[in-house]
Amino acid sequence: MRMQRRSMARGWAGLLLAVALTGACSPETPPEPEPEQTLSVDPTTPSPVSISPTTEPTPTPTPTPSSTLSEEQTAAAETVMEFFRLKNELGQDPYLEFQPLANITTGQTQVLQMSVIDRYRVEELVQTGETEYYITSVGDVEGEQDDLTVKVQACTDATDVDLVEVGTGDSVLPAERAFFVEWDMDILHDGFSWKVGDIESGTVDRCGP
């Protein structure tokens, strides 16, 4: 029975890697005692953000964006930061509610993210380590007042991340896998809140110059 579960877990892990490169990174990808978090938006020199695990709820990041960003651009960038923060937490803790992530995603991105988290829990898999995430650029605000879009680019570094079976601690990920992923994200405002919409992603050699 254990061998059957191990086989299912490894098979699903391969599928999760494929999903990660098409718009849903491993929980992707998850957190340490609450460090102060600062959002740095610079197209050429992104600054890493890492979050530490804690028994207390981790507050929403309060980034300090570049003075060149508008209020809407800043809010869109903060939404991306929260997206990756929640993915980290949910991957590491199988008992957390995933509604907060559902609240800031929409469309196919929401469907894929919820599916990945649910499968982790069904297969009794948990993420170890932290995925670091970087904002690399924030685009112009497009659209009307109740239908805004900001394109945000980000990069994630999963060098220290693994996906293991809860019972054994055995990794279900291949040793030869992509660690750095570049994300092109549409951040949408529907008149009420900002959400992560369509995502395109692909592997890169590293994050940063």
Count of beta carbons in the 10 Å neighbourhood of residue 24: 26
What's the mean pLDDT when you consider all of the chain? 78
Buried-state track 132-143, b at ≥16 Cβ within 10 A, e below 16: bbbbbebbebee
Written as one string, the DSSP assignment of 86-111 is HHHHHHH-TTS--HHHHHTB-HHHHH
Q: Which of 6-20, 101-115, 121-135, 176-190 has the lowest mean pLDDT?
A: 6-20
Write down the pLDDT at residue 67.
55
150: left (phi over 0), alpha (psi -120 to 50) or beta: beta
Write down the pLDDT at residue 146.
85
Q: In this predicted model, what pLDDT tens digit does every residue of 155-204 receive, in sequence order?
A: 999 999 999 999 999 999 999 999 999 999 999 999 999 999 999 999 99
CA separation (Å) from 156 to 29, 53, 117, 123, 206? 9, 18, 18, 25, 9
Residue 99 exposed, middle or buried by CB count within 10 Å (0-12, 13-18, 19+)? exposed
More confident residue, 171 or 25: 171
Q: Residue 11: is its pLDDT beyond 80?
A: no
Q: Residue 124: is its pLDDT beyond 90?
A: yes
Q: Residue 111: is its pLDDT beyond 90?
A: yes
**Percentage of the residues of the chain whose pLDDT score is greater than 70:** 67
Domains and CATH numbers, the chain: 2-31+54-203 (3.10.450.50)
Q: Residue 29: is its pLDDT beyond 50?
A: no
- Looking at residue 17, the DSSP 8-state letter turns out to be H
SS3 31: coil
SS3 content of the chain, % helix, strand, coil (to 5): 30, 25, 45
Q: Which of 9-23, 56-70, 181-195 has the lowest mean pLDDT?
A: 9-23
